Amino acid sequence: MICVRSEPTGRTSVYHTSVRSCIMIERVLVPMDDSELSERALRYALDVHRDADVTVLHVVGEPSRMMGAATGIALADNSEERIQELSAEVFDRAQAIAEEHDVAIDTMSEVGSPARRIVERAEDFDVVVIGTHGGSLADRLLVGNVAKSVFQHSPVPVTVVR
């Protein structure tokens, strides 16, 4: 359960006193990449939202000269198969973490801007649980801070885990 207060700015903040409304968390979105912090976010989601359905989302970057692995998607004969190949390692680790918690999780892959895809998918969930940052230093410098963008634009509450 998350208790929230709507502020005059239109933003929603999570707090523990003077509760105005509470929502039951039934669906949790956990964006994951190949970072330890995204694994921490999944562990947190599974610990805190024990009765919720958890979905792990892996976003493969849009094909460009700057994103080597994603460029292979555009050149692949079967792009859907290539997306699944690029997501397989992340999903294997996510499934292993879920097994440690003795729960089942769902997985989904997307192609595009990670922050944009996460925010678009967030509409179908009650909360997003995301690591503070992920990927390589180059990814963070080129792509920007995905967690910050998701936090600012998400239509649902966001929990940022570090």
pTM of this prediction?
0.77
Q: pLDDT over 90 for what percent of the chain?
A: 54
Confidence at residue 52, expressed as pLDDT on a 0 to 100 scale: 97
For the chain, give the secondary structure using H, E and C.
CEEEEECCCCCEEECCCCCCEEECCCEEEEECCCCHHHHHHHHHHHHHCCCCEEEEEEEECCCECCEHHHHHHHHCCCHHHHHHHHHHHHHHHHHHHHHHCCCCCEEEEEECCHHHHHHHHHCCCCEEEEECCCCCHHHHHHHCCHHHHHHHHCCCCEEEEC
Q: How far apart are CA 152 and CA 135, in angstroms?
A: 20
Pair type for strands 106-111 and 127-131: unpaired
Confidence at residue 137, expressed as pLDDT on a 0 to 100 scale: 59
Tens of pLDDT, residue by residue over 116-162, are 999 999 999 999 999 987 655 555 554 448 898 999 999 999 999 98
* Domain-wise residue ranges, the chain: 28-161
Tens of pLDDT, residue by residue over 96-119, are 999 999 999 999 999 989 999 999
Tens of pLDDT, residue by residue over 26-76, are 999 999 998 899 999 999 999 999 999 999 999 987 654 444 455 445 455
The domain made up of 28-161 has a fold known as Rossmann fold (3.40.50)
Give the chain's mean pLDDT.
80
